[in-house]
């Protein structure tokens, strides 16, 4: 008898029948665990049996006296052959060998008796089949009676009888007791069973003082996990209701409307594939936005942002749920609980769950796809049609969200499948002689093709030219045409010029330190060979977030908005971190048996928990302990890059306006988030209008109030609190620092000065700007405008005075820097001018006039070749001014190339 086999005798008090349980692969079980298992089987059968535990005499280390074992052995043997009940713990490493050995030694003579299948799923729920089956000798031989038995064969042999099996960890075959009804439960019964299995039973198990501490803890982990999942959904929904509108949502809505019209007109309306602005929205399938728009259309909710946010929060919650499933599959309830805890207390992730319609759905589809591929290979060489469908749907949704996202998920599935091929020895099998064993591979390949064509049906740009447009999109992936100014490492720079480690750095400083500690613990466990988990799944988890980050370092050229475009990596970071904490407590026996096994990672999460309590719904602005919290990142890294805080600013401003202006008062509110403000003020007062303006150009338009989130404000001014204090009305603050600036215009001299400039009244403009600067002396824009007026009249010395004053309040104000270069150029300080123009071009490559001015410095030095190079860059960036052509002609003439000189001279006229 194999060492891992235990036999349990079950005696009914109401009859002479004796039932026995054979526990295969259960040598690690305690007596209490076996009794708990038997009790759960009793509950399924509604039996009133009393039980007595007896070990087989071949089991070593038994606490039961040898004499008792010897006297009961024959009874156990005989009764087992008559009424067999098998308990098979599939998670035990030796169960296959033990079962095969047992079949060989015992040669059970089972007959065609009706039996009921009970099973334990990964959530610890004990279930029963809805039909009976026969365990015959042939079944045993065919499925269990050889050394090469696999989990897949075991599950597949009884799979048709399992309902909602999820991942079966133990299989139990039970003789059907007479008079017991296993009819299919109704909806109410199922709900009651679900509640009992996930909440009442685990809690009851924990409260059972007679149970072993480990058994009790497992019950508590299960209860806490179920509770945390439920609380997580509520948290996500509350955040969705409270959060503001993302700056991208209106663009997503506009594209969704075009997609809707494309299908409504059967492709006649082609505006969906026409580029609008610099951002080709049609490159993304954005299936989630399209579906939400279509579902909301009949209800009039297609532009209801609360409806949209609730929808995305539910989808984001599914990412947490399936990440927990993967953790549960890998190492049990404690890891699933820790993983869920880490995700819910990662504020930047949850902040995106509230309203990120592009990146969160892709993250969810990716984690569902990874879970599905793991489950798909669990029953090899059989094929799970259910998980094949899940794999296909996850791939299709990923492709239809973002083509590159689908390619990544396909690569992850391919990687894991390759590991399974190597693990199962499939490479040694002939493609001709053993087609059945290769069937899972061919079906997966077919699933990839099918999912791609399903995705095309929901992606108009791909539908009209599948191959051509797919290649175009893949080639452009990571090189976004939009270049935005962002604060990174205290510098104000374009997204196209961010350092290669941009994404990795943001991950390090915005994900709670508890996750990085968990990941470090996992790495230690791997290198010390302590990580007792399936290596194939572990490598899949590491690759799922490691490869995209490595790719971002070496391949991506345009990065902005923190790491939101890499949100799909986060569930796998959380899973690996959860495993790390699990391995830590496993190595400390007293900690492993204590509830502090959960308390320690929870203590490590106090920092993000405090942040959430203080600053909801601004979770996505979180920075971790490395940065000294979000306040420590102020002016060093971008805060409100999606302009969510506009909502809180708008709510405050509406209250203020109603207190100080009667309804019907005509007011203009200026903002760089005017689209979002329009939504917040909808239905408030039709007399109030919105005006778009950049923060540093606000003086050139007419407004009464202004609202600006701190995005696009230079870090020097943020850190030194330089803002127009005379017009300052209110701040929405986050951890003590201004998040939203609210202004009330008390002086219009700046606007009137700009009107004077338009009317060519330089003297009037100077007077008005001087008056404005007395009102707001820290206005870099006002000082620049004065300097520019004097520069236009070639009064370079006076211009220098005012541009110097401008630098005091904004040392990197781009217009002032360009003007400083022109002052040096026109006062023949060429060596001083050249580095200024060179740096301007480096900071903002599309400043075509800077190329021309840079070239002029070289022309003045008679370096005509260098001058021509810069003039060429000016033309390439759109500078088609006649004097540029004239300068090019002059340089060619000086170099003796009369043909080219004549050509450009003609173009200058």
Q: What is the pLDDT of residue 103?
A: 44
Sorting pLDDT into bands at 50, 70 and 90, what band is 52? very low
Contacts of 177 (CB under 8 A, 6+ apart): 45, 47
Residue 871 to residue 877: CA distance in whole angstroms: 10
Of the candidates 215, 200, 163, which has an alpha carbon nearest to the alpha carbon of residue 386?
163
> Are the C-beta atoms of residues 371 and 327 closer than 8 Å to each other?
no
Cα-flanking dihedrals φ and ψ of residue 743, to 5°? -120, 150
Q: Residue 170 forms beta bridges with which residues?
A: 89, 120
Q: What H or E segment, with its residue span, contains residue 740?
A: strand 737-744
Q: Please report, for the chain, how many H helices and E strands are present, in that order.
A: 40, 14
- Residue 164 pLDDT more than 90? no
Bridging pattern class, strands 688-692 and 667-671: parallel
Of the candidates 345, 340, 353, which has an alpha carbon nearest to the alpha carbon of residue 228?
340
- Residue 28 pLDDT more than 70? no
> Are the C-beta atoms of residues 642 and 619 closer than 8 Å to each other?
no
Express each pLDDT in 784-841 by its tens digit.
999 999 999 999 999 999 999 999 999 999 999 999 999 999 999 999 999 999 999 8
First to last CA, the chain: 102
Residue 891 to residue 894: CA distance in whole angstroms: 5
Q: What are the tokens at 212?
A: 């072993």
- Residue 34 pLDDT more than 90? no
The pLDDT of 345-364, averaged and rounded, is: 95
Please state which of the ranges 266-270, 347-351, 753-757 shows the lowest mean pLDDT: 266-270
- Residue 109 pLDDT more than 70? no
> Are the C-beta atoms of residues 75 and 18 closer than 8 Å to each other?
yes
Of the candidates 30, 52, 20, 4, which has an alpha carbon nearest to the alpha carbon of residue 211?
30
Q: What are the tokens at 802?
A: 């005012």
Sorting pLDDT into bands at 50, 70 and 90, what band is 158? very low
Express each pLDDT in 614-631 by its tens digit.
999 999 999 999 999 999
- Residue 154 pLDDT more than 50? no
> Are the C-beta atoms of residues 670 and 705 closer than 8 Å to each other?
yes
Express each pLDDT in 559-576 by its tens digit.
778 888 899 999 999 999
Sorting pLDDT into bands at 50, 70 and 90, what band is 344? very high
pTM of the model: 0.79
Q: What is the pLDDT of residue 427?
A: 65
* Residue 637 per-residue DSSP state: B
Neighbours of 200 (CB within 10 A): 12
Average pLDDT, the chain: 78
Sorting pLDDT into bands at 50, 70 and 90, what band is 435? low
Express each pLDDT in 731-761 by its tens digit.
999 999 999 999 999 999 999 999 999 999 9
Of the candidates 123, 153, 562, 624, which has an alpha carbon nearest to the alpha carbon of residue 346?
624
Contacts of 422 (CB under 8 A, 6+ apart): none
522: left (phi over 0), alpha (psi -120 to 50) or beta: alpha
When comparing pLDDT for 162 and 722, which is higher? 722
Of the candidates 230, 398, 239, which has an alpha carbon nearest to the alpha carbon of residue 310?
239
- For 572-616, give the secondary structure using H, E and C: HHHHHHHHHHHHHHHCCHHHHCCCHHHHHHHHHCHHHHHHHHHHC
Which residue shows structure tokens 């971002």?
A: 552
Q: What is the pLDDT of residue 725?
A: 86
Express each pLDDT in 303-341 by its tens digit.
999 999 999 999 999 999 999 999 988 888 889 999 999
Express each pLDDT in 522-545 by its tens digit.
998 888 876 667 788 889 999 999
> Are the C-beta atoms of residues 182 and 128 closer than 8 Å to each other?
yes
- Residue 391 pLDDT more than 80? yes
> Are the C-beta atoms of residues 247 and 673 closer than 8 Å to each other?
yes
Bridging pattern class, strands 114-120 and 170-175: antiparallel
The CA-based diameter of the chain, rounded to the nearest angstrom, is 117
Express each pLDDT in 468-477 by its tens digit.
988 888 877 7
Q: What is the pLDDT of residue 203?
A: 80
793-825: burial string, b at 16+ Cβ within 10 Å, e else: eeebeebbebbebbbebbebbbbbbbbbbbbbb
């Amino acid at each position: 008898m194999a060492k891992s086999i235990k036999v349990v005798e079950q005696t009914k008090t109401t009859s002479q029948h004796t039932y026995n349980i054979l526990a295969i692969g259960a040598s690690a079980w305690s007596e209490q665990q076996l009794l708990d298992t038997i009790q759960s089987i009793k509950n399924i059968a509604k039996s009133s049996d009393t039980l007595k535990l007896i070990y087989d005499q071949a089991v070593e280390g038994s606490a039961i006296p040898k004499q008792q074992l010897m006297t009961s052995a024959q009874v156990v043997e005989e009764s087992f052959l008559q009424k067999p009940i098998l308990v098979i713990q599939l998670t035990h490493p030796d169960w296959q060998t033990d079962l095969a050995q047992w079949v060989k030694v015992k040669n059970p003579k089972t007959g065609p008796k009706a039996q009921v299948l009970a099973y334990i799923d990964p959530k610890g729920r004990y279930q029963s089949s809805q039909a009976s089956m026969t365990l015959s000798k042939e079944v045993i031989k065919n499925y269990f009676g050889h050394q090469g038995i696999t989990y897949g064969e075991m599950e597949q042999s009884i799979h048709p009888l399992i309902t909602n099996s999820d991942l079966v960890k133990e299989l139990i075959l039970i003789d059907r007791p007479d008079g017991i009804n296993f009819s299919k439960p109704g909806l109410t019964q199922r709900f009651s069973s679900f509640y009992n299995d996930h909440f009442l039973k685990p809690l009851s198990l924990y409260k059972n003082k007679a149970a072993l501490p480990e058994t009790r803890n497992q019950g508590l982990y299960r209860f806490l996990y179920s509770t945390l999942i439920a609380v997580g959904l509520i948290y996500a929904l509350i955040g969705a209701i409270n959060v503001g509108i993302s700056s991208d949502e209106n663009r997503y809505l506009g594209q969704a409307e075009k997609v809707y019209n494309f299908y409504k007109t059967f492709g006649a309306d082609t505006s969906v594939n026409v580029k609008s602005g610099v951002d080709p929205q049609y490159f993304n399938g954005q299936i989630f936005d399209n579906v939400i728009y279509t579902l909301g259309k009949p209800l009039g909710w297609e532009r209801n942002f609360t409806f949209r946010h609730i929808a995305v929060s539910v989808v984001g919650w599914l990412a947490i749920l399936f990440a927990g499933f993967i953790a549960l599959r890998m190492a049990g309830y404690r890891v699933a609980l820790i993983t869920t805890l880490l995700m819910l207390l990662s504020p930047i992730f949850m902040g995106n769950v509230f309203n990120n319609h592009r990146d969160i759905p892709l993250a969810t589809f990716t984690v569902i796809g990874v879970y599905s591929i793991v489950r798909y290979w669990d029953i090899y060489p059989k094929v799970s049609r259910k998980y094949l469908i899940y794999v296909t749907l996850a791939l299709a949704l990923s492709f239809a969200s973002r083509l590159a996202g689908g390619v990544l998920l396909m690569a992850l599935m391919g990687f894991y499948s390759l590991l399974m091929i190597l693990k199962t020895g499939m490479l040694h099998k002939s493609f001709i002689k053993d087609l059945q064993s290769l069937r899972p591979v061919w079906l997966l390949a077919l699933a990839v093709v099918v999912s791609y064509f399903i995705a095309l049906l929901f992606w108009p740009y791909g539908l009209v030219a599948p191959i051509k447009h797919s290649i175009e999109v893949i080639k452009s992936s990571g090189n976004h045409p939009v270049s935005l100014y962002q604060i990174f490492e205290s510098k104000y720079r374009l997204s196209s010029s961010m350092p290669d480690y941009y994404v990795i750095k943001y991950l390090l400083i915005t994900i709670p330190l508890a996750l990085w500690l968990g990941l470090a613990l996992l790495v230690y466990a791997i290198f010390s060979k302590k990580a007792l988990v399936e290596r194939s799944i572990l490598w899949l988890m590491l690759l799922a977030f490691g490869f995209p980050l490595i790719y971002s370092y070496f391949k991506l050229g345009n990065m902005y908005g923190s790491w939101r475009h890499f949100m799909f990596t986060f569930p796998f970071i959380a899973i690996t971190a959860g495993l790390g904490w699990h391995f830590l407590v496993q190595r400390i026996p007293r900690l492993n048996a204590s509830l502090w096994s959960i308390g320690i990672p929870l203590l490590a999460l106090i920092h993000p928990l405090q942040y959430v309590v203080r600053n909801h719904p601004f979770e996505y602005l979180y920075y971790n302990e490395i940065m000294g919290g979000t306040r420590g990142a102020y002016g060093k890294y971008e805060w409100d890059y999606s302009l969510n805080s506009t909502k809180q600013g708008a709510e405050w401003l509406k209250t203020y306006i109603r207190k100080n202006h009667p309804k019907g008062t005509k007011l203009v509110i200026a903002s760089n988030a005017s689209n979002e403000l329009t939504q917040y003020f909808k239905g408030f007062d039709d007399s109030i209008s919105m005006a778009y303006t950049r923060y540093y150009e606000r003086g050139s338009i007419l407004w009464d109030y202004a609202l600006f989130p701190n995005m696009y404000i230079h870090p020097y001014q943020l850190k030194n609190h330089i803002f127009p204090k005379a017009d300052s009305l209110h701040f929405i603050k986050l951890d003590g620092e201004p998040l939203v600036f609210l202004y009330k215009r008390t002086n219009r001299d700046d606007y009137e000065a700009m009107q004077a400039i338009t009317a060519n009244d330089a003297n009037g403009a100077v007077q008005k700007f001087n008056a404005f600067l007395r009102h707001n002396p820290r206005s870099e824009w006002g000082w620049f405008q004065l300097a520019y007026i004097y520069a236009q009249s070639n009064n370079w010395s006076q211009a220098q005075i005012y541009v110097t004053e401008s630098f005091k309040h904004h040392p990197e104000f781009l217009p002032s820097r360009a003007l400083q270069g022109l002052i040096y150029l026109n006062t023949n300080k060429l060596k001083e001018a050249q580095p200024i123009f060179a740096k301007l071009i480096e900071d903002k490559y599309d400043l075509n006039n800077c190329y021309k001015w840079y070239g002029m410095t070289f022309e003045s030095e008679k370096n005509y070749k260098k001058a021509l190079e810069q003039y060429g860059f000016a033309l390439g960036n759109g500078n088609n001014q006649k004097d540029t052509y004239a300068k090019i002609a002059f340089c060619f003439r000086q170099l003796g190339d009369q043909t080219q000189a004549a050509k450009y001279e003609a173009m200058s006229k």
